[in-house]
Amino acid sequence: MKKALLHFFERIEPDKKKSPLLHTAYDAFFTFAFTPKTVTTDGVHIRDGIDLKRTMVYVVLALQLCYLFGTYNIGYQHFHAIGQYPGLLDGLHLKLVYGLIKILPIFIVTHVVGLGIEFYYASRKGHGVEEGFLVTGALIPLLMPPDIPMWILAFAVAFAVIIGKEAFGGTGMNIVNIALLARVFVFFAYPTYIAGDEVWVSGLEKVNGVYQTAEYSGVYHFFDGIFKAWGWDTFGAGGTAVMDAYTGATPLALGYQGGWNSIVSAYTVSDMWWGFIPGSIGETSKPLIILGALFLIGTGIASWRIMVAGVFGVAFTGLLFNAWGMTPFMEVPWYYHFYMGSFLFAIAFMATDPVTAASTNKGKWIYGFLIGVFGMVIRVMNPAYPEGWMLAILLMNVFAPLIDHYILEANMKRRARRAKAAAQ
């Protein structure tokens, strides 16, 4: 059966010269579904038989728990903001459907724009679609707020793929993380959509100074028909005013304004740990991020050295800030910085990108540690943006080759001294 299916796809292969774009699309699917005809199976430097596409697929698999929880949390934060269904399982079907309606367009636009550009460049170059966008396309939706306008997202993805990757030669040639470049584009080009207190909860609009839910229409009414048939609660008309005390601020925004007391007045430590807080779609649930990180470490895809070094960097800088204590945010206990924001997500899924990270073992320790240090400095001391991992990782992406250069130079000099001493 497998051979028959393989022969069928080989027979329908488009002509590469007559239809380069169609052949590129065919090749992308074929190499995703089937192992290449020619593979290296033995040799001095061969560790295993996995190819690049399947390496990327492992990372995508590690992100699926973040997608699942992120979908739920979009709906949970929306209904929590308007004072409905406060229990975690209350209105579960509404929360999941609401989150799915919000996250699907983000996922689709990301892949249509990103893969469209990849296919175009691949057909122009006359080779198959490169695999790098598998991970980039999975990461970008998780880095965005749930209410990001689709036209801004499309611009961000196009900018990141063209300027960050294709301009440097494609997959494996980029010097900075592409997913982070998409986020940094939104941050600097359209800061009001990704910074501040009002962007992290989906479906709210300000009417006469009071936040309300936008009217439920279109696809929501379709699901209402299904829910009514089953006797379940429905979305209804919308327009419910939110609670007077509700702010929608993230723990980091609250921390910069009033320190730890301000944070725990709005969120419990448990909520921050499990992820029931506003934030980017994939960053909130710490246990699920850790499970994904352990999967990547266990499969040998990601470097545990970078992750551990990043944790040390955060702890070291957090302890220094606690001792300094000049501002309320500096007094936040260092270990609670792991509960807030996107550090764990960033260090597990983006700092470990093998293309843009340091490649030597000692360099990985330095690279990860400095990400932790610089990220904490930006998070605690930057009034405009109380989070720092995006900028810290991009900064260290640029310096990663320099770190490896000096590590290799030191190794060669040390070996040369040993060889000279042995010859004397």
H/E element holding 204?
strand 204-207
* Range of the structural domain that residue 13 is part of: 2-33
Mean pLDDT of each 10-residue bin along the chain, 424 residues long: 57 57 54 54 49 76 96 93 88 95 96 90 72 86 93 96 88 88 90 68 73 79 91 78 63 86 92 93 95 95 96 97 92 94 94 94 97 95 80 95 95 89 80
22 and 60 together in one domain? no
> Is residue 337, in this structure, part of any structural domain at all?
yes
Q: Does 202 lie in the same domain as 56?
A: yes
Residue 105 shares a structural domain with residue 145: yes
Are residues 286 and 223 both part of a single domain?
no
Residues 214 and 294 in one domain: no
Is residue 122 domain-resident? yes
Answer whether residue 204 is part of any domain.
yes
Whether 72 and 189 map to the same domain: the answer is: yes
Compute the C-alpha angle 139/294/367, nearest 5°. 70
Residue 261 lies in a domain: no
Task: Tell me what pLDDT residue 384 has.
Answer: 72
262 in a domain, yes or no?
A: no
Tokens of 243: 């609670």
Residue 42 falls inside a structural domain: no
Domain count, the chain: 3
Residues 233 and 305 in one domain: no
My answer on whether 187 and 336 are in the same domain is: no
**Could you give the percent of the chain with pLDDT greater than 90?**
54
What is the pLDDT, as a whole number, of residue 396?
Answer: 97
The three-state secondary structure class of 294 is: helix
DSSP string computed for 206-253: EETTEEEEPPP-THHHHHHHHHHHHT-----S--PBPPTT-----HHH
Q: Same structural domain for residues 53 and 127? A: yes
Residue 360 lies in a domain: yes
> Rounded to two decimals, what is the model's pTM?
0.86
Give a yes or no: residue 270 inside a domain.
Answer: no
Boundary residue ending a domain (192, 227, 248): 248
Task: Indicate whether 52 and 182 sit together in one domain.
Answer: yes
pLDDT of residue 419: 87
Domain boundary among 248, 273, 290: 248
Do 73 and 25 share a structural domain?
A: no
As a whole number of angstroms, the distance between CA 338 and CA 342 comes to 8
